[in-house]
Chain A
Amino acid sequence: MNEIQQILTSMVSTALTPQTAAVAIAVIGLNIHFGFTGLLNIGQSAFMLLGAYGFAISITSYDLPLIVAVFVGLALAFLFALVLGVPTLKLRGDYLAIVTISAAEIIRYVGRSVGYEWLFDKTGGAQGIPGSRYRGPFRDLSVFGDGSTSLLPFNWRDVADGAIWVRLLSWAIVIAVIITVIQIARGKTSLTGRTRALSLTALGAVGVLVTLFAVPVTNQNTGVDGWWTVVVAWGLAVLSSVLVLILTRSPWGRALRGVREDEDAMRSLGKNVFAIKMQALIIGGLFGALGGIMYVLPSTVQPDNMGRSLTFFIYTALLLGGAATIWGPILGSILFFAGRIAVIGITQTYVPNSIMSNQEATQFAFIVVGVALMLLVIFRPQGILGDKRELRFNV
């Protein structure tokens, strides 16, 4: 029982970390590229890395204010999108894929290079930029004060002396809530319009509360990845989703999906396909940069942390949640990171060390991620929230 509680605690705290939220924001950006516009961007990590570099170097080397630093990060991603888009967006989609994956590697290698002293002074090479050097201005903004808080303060330990049935019951409620939310989000219930949105919000809140009741998480208020960073990161993730919701429900979003379906048809209808694709690439890239900034706030700017594997994590999270959906990226990111921790935790706890050591368990989790991505694409390409009807028609 305690082992399970331990695994669940690490799952929930991983799901809550600002880095999960940061990846979710990057997934939201990739969703605009891949899900809505059909742009095969295999270099989303480069947008994140550029955002992170722009943000961190502005503060460490130039002492710029926080808000300016954020804009420098976004501006770098904007330029990167332009540079990638101008030559490739007029060509067939495959070329963008080739160019983005190579450009992402170029950015990473330039970041970790030591040859140019001017550059090395700023990026710190493969060692990167320690978070303590740029975290200050953001931490100073915190309104949460010092100390640490455990959420929820009222949890399973306070009911019936922490009997097993309390925990089992609350876990059952959490699972039921998640299933209900997914059913409603996929439109399987008769709820529509405002009642649907309201019930989703209410169920989501109940789900979070009961989860924290069953698995309380203790964190510093304003520490490295304390509640302040958590709240800001998740707030940004939700805001980004709402922005994407507004954008994609507009005629502009309709044009994006039109481009995904058939560029020539869109041209024959008088749409400027290049401009639409470029706008999508830039917007998605800006979300990527924002995700990158949030990703490095609680850690360091290390180029090797934001390479190909991060791009594929982002793709897995996107496909898991459902491409071309609004809330899929957030759901996918949470499930992806929590699921990976679950695999690690379960193998470390229940598989004897003689068969698989703790370090091997971590690597095993990556194998599971790869297999999961394959199974997902084969058996459920629309993800959890996607509409299967949309994928039934081959384009």
Chain B
Amino acid sequence: MSEATAVNAQGTNPLADPQARIDLMADVARTPGSAKPNPILTVDNIVRQFGGMTAVDVDHLEVQRGLITALIGPNGAGKTTFFNLITGFDKPTSAGKGAHWSFEGRTLDKTSASRVARSGMVRTFQLTKSLNRMTVMDNMLLGAQDQAGENLALSMFKPVWRRQEKQIEAKAEELLDRFSLLEKRHDYAGSLSGGQRKLLEMARALMSDPTMIMLDEPMAGVNPALTQSLLGHIQSLRDDGMTVLFVEHDMHVVRHISDWVVVMAEGRIVAEGSAGSVMAEPAVIDAYLGAHHDTDLGDDSLLDEPAAGDAKTDEEQA
């Protein structure tokens, strides 16, 4: 995107090269809360309690700029709550008692959700929030920032905002084309399929030229072919210089695209590292992946030969 943060003089992003990303993170300690070379988001001491239950209790977390970081963990680990907390949709219980988080050096401790979005950190939702009774195009146009026409006093004078409107319309069409939604631009968003709404939500978030995009389960309920193209989009965002933080349950997806993986369990960060190293950690296997994580549970051969499958698990555990 035009707002790329890590684009060098030649106009190419050095982090588009896989080896460069591996080298960058090679020296980072594989421990929870490790320091990153160039963190874009730093989180300290965020606690969120619902009654007596502690949903999130994160001591320290840094998210590296320009990479795809995956946030994984079992159901109820507090991933979405954590997303809500750092994007301003929820307030930590520890607010004012040492909770501190900053994005690009700016403190976000008391920032409202809309301000967080304007500062360049845009999120999507696990349950897609498309604006159903508006057209796809209107959905997209709402994503653009700093629109003069959204000022009540200026909105009455079309010449003031006509040019800007044209520009953001062109930008929206470009993005819709990229996400193969261009033909749907005059349809109501409510008439799109679930997967298309996911695409629309992601495209809409990109309208604001974010420096960091946070995706909450972008692949949930999306068919394999569309998952493939979504993965391509996410990688191309990274290659354009954007930072991506996403929650996902599909381990193949996580392994395929993430440069760094953070594992949460029971509200805490239990492991960090590259996909390969994290998935080999016994703590992660116990808490999240389970002993079968390397086998496809839909594999027919497992059903046909239950005895063989059991034997294999026993071996693994031994």
Q: A257-B133, A271-B142 are in contact. List 5 more A-B contacts (CB 8 A).
A: A258-B134, A267-B88, A267-B89, A270-B118, A395-B132
- For residue A246, which residues in chain B have a CB less than 8 angstroms away from its CB? 155-156, 158
State the Cβ distance, A239 to closest chain B Cβ, in Å. Answer: 13
State the Cβ distance, A93 to closest chain B Cβ, in Å. Answer: 16
- For residue B188, which residues in chain A have a CB less than 8 angstroms away from its CB? 389-390, 392-393
- Assembly CA distance A260 to B133 (angstroms): 9
State the Cβ distance, B94 to closest chain A Cβ, in Å. Answer: 22
Q: Assuming the A-B contacts A255-B150, A393-B190, are A270 and B117 also in contact, with contact meaning beta carbons closer than 8 angstroms in the complex?
A: yes
Interface residue A97 (Cβ < 8 Å from any Cβ of B)? no
Which of B120-128, B257-265, B309-317 lines the interface with chain A? B120-128
Chain A's closest residue to B139 (CB) is: A258
5 closest residue pairs by CB, A with B: A393-B190, A251-B149, A270-B117, A252-B155, A250-B155
Interface residue B242 (Cβ < 8 Å from any Cβ of A)? no
State the Cβ distance, A277 to closest chain B Cβ, in Å. Answer: 12
State the Cβ distance, A132 to closest chain B Cβ, in Å. Answer: 38
Q: Assuming the A-B contacts A268-B113, A269-B204, are A262 and B156 also in contact, with contact meaning beta carbons closer than 8 angstroms in the complex?
A: no
Interface residue A264 (Cβ < 8 Å from any Cβ of B)? yes
Interface residue B141 (Cβ < 8 Å from any Cβ of A)? yes
- Assembly CA distance A349 to B130 (angstroms): 54
- For residue A394, which residues in chain B have a CB less than 8 angstroms away from its CB? 132
- 27 A-B contacts, Cβ less than 8 Å apart? A250-B149, A250-B155, A253-B155, A255-B142, A257-B133, A258-B138, A258-B142, A261-B133, A267-B88, A267-B112, A267-B117, A268-B89, A268-B117, A269-B114, A269-B117, A269-B142, A269-B204, A269-B208, A270-B122, A270-B145, A270-B208, A279-B152, A389-B188, A392-B190, A393-B132, A393-B188, A394-B132
Whether A257 contacts B134 by the Cβ 8 Å rule is yes
Interface residue B212 (Cβ < 8 Å from any Cβ of A)? no
- For residue B155, which residues in chain A have a CB less than 8 angstroms away from its CB? 246-247, 250-253
Whether A265 contacts B129 by the Cβ 8 Å rule is yes
- Assembly CA distance A390 to B89 (angstroms): 28
- For residue A271, which residues in chain B have a CB less than 8 angstroms away from its CB? 114, 142, 150
Whether B142 contacts A247 by the Cβ 8 Å rule is no
Whether B152 contacts A395 by the Cβ 8 Å rule is no
Whether A250 contacts B118 by the Cβ 8 Å rule is no
- Assembly CA distance A273 to B204 (angstroms): 17
- Assembly CA distance A181 to B150 (angstroms): 32
Interface residue B19 (Cβ < 8 Å from any Cβ of A)? no
Whether A264 contacts B89 by the Cβ 8 Å rule is yes
Interface hits, A140-195 → B, CB 8 Å:
none
State the Cβ distance, A391 to closest chain B Cβ, in Å. Answer: 7
Residue in contact with A395 in the complex, picked from B114, B133, B165, B207, CB distance below 8 Å: B133
- For residue A393, which residues in chain B have a CB less than 8 angstroms away from its CB? 132-133, 188, 190-191
Interface hits, A88-141 → B, CB 8 Å:
none
Interface hits, A262-301 → B, CB 8 Å:
262, 264-273, 279, 283
- For residue A243, which residues in chain B have a CB less than 8 angstroms away from its CB? 156
Whether B129 contacts A264 by the Cβ 8 Å rule is yes
* Partner-B contacts on A (CB < 8 A): 243, 246-247, 250-255, 257-258, 260-262, 264-273, 279, 283, 389-395
Whether B114 contacts A390 by the Cβ 8 Å rule is no
State the Cβ distance, B172 to closest chain A Cβ, in Å. Answer: 12
Q: Assuming the A-B contacts A252-B155, A393-B190, are A265 and B150 also in contact, with contact meaning beta carbons closer than 8 angstroms in the complex?
A: no
- Assembly CA distance A391 to B129 (angstroms): 17
* Partner-A contacts on B (CB < 8 A): 87-89, 112-115, 117-118, 122-125, 129-134, 138, 141-143, 145, 147-152, 155-156, 158, 161, 165, 188, 190-191, 204-205, 207-208
- Assembly CA distance A252 to B190 (angstroms): 21
Q: Chain A CB within 10 Å — which of B118, B132, B145 has the most? A: B132
- For residue B161, which residues in chain A have a CB less than 8 angstroms away from its CB? 250-251
Chain A's closest residue to B124 (CB) is: A268
- For residue B165, which residues in chain A have a CB less than 8 angstroms away from its CB? 251
Residue in contact with A250 in the complex, picked from B112, B133, B142, B156, CB distance below 8 Å: B156
- Assembly CA distance A297 to B147 (angstroms): 41
- For residue A247, which residues in chain B have a CB less than 8 angstroms away from its CB? 152, 155-156
- Assembly CA distance A389 to B207 (angstroms): 26
Whether A254 contacts B138 by the Cβ 8 Å rule is yes
Q: Chain B CB within 10 Å — which of A251, A253, A391, A393 has the most? A: A251
- For residue A268, which residues in chain B have a CB less than 8 angstroms away from its CB? 87, 89, 113, 117, 122-125, 129, 205
Whether A267 contacts B133 by the Cβ 8 Å rule is no
State the Cβ distance, B77 to closest chain A Cβ, in Å. Answer: 22
- For residue B124, which residues in chain A have a CB less than 8 angstroms away from its CB? 268
Whether B151 contacts A252 by the Cβ 8 Å rule is yes
- Assembly CA distance A265 to B156 (angstroms): 25
State the Cβ distance, A288 to closest chain B Cβ, in Å. Answer: 17
State the Cβ distance, B70 to closest chain A Cβ, in Å. Answer: 20
- For residue B133, which residues in chain A have a CB less than 8 angstroms away from its CB? 257, 260-261, 390-391, 393, 395
Q: Assuming the A-B contacts A257-B138, A270-B118, A272-B114, are A262 and B151 also in contact, with contact meaning beta carbons closer than 8 angstroms in the complex?
A: no
- For residue B143, which residues in chain A have a CB less than 8 angstroms away from its CB? 269
Whether A273 contacts B114 by the Cβ 8 Å rule is yes
- Assembly CA distance A260 to B142 (angstroms): 13
Whether B132 contacts A266 by the Cβ 8 Å rule is no
Whether B117 contacts A252 by the Cβ 8 Å rule is no
- For residue B151, which residues in chain A have a CB less than 8 angstroms away from its CB? 252
- Assembly CA distance A258 to B134 (angstroms): 8
Whether B152 contacts A266 by the Cβ 8 Å rule is no
State the Cβ distance, B247 to closest chain A Cβ, in Å. Answer: 15
- Assembly CA distance A120 to B123 (angstroms): 56
State the Cβ distance, A392 to closest chain B Cβ, in Å. Answer: 7
- Assembly CA distance A390 to B188 (angstroms): 8
- Assembly CA distance A270 to B114 (angstroms): 4
- Assembly CA distance A102 to B30 (angstroms): 60
- Assembly CA distance A391 to B88 (angstroms): 31
State the Cβ distance, B146 to closest chain A Cβ, in Å. Answer: 9
- For residue B204, which residues in chain A have a CB less than 8 angstroms away from its CB? 269
- For residue B134, which residues in chain A have a CB less than 8 angstroms away from its CB? 254, 257-258, 261
State the Cβ distance, A39 to closest chain B Cβ, in Å. Answer: 15
- For residue A251, which residues in chain B have a CB less than 8 angstroms away from its CB? 141, 147-150, 155, 161, 165
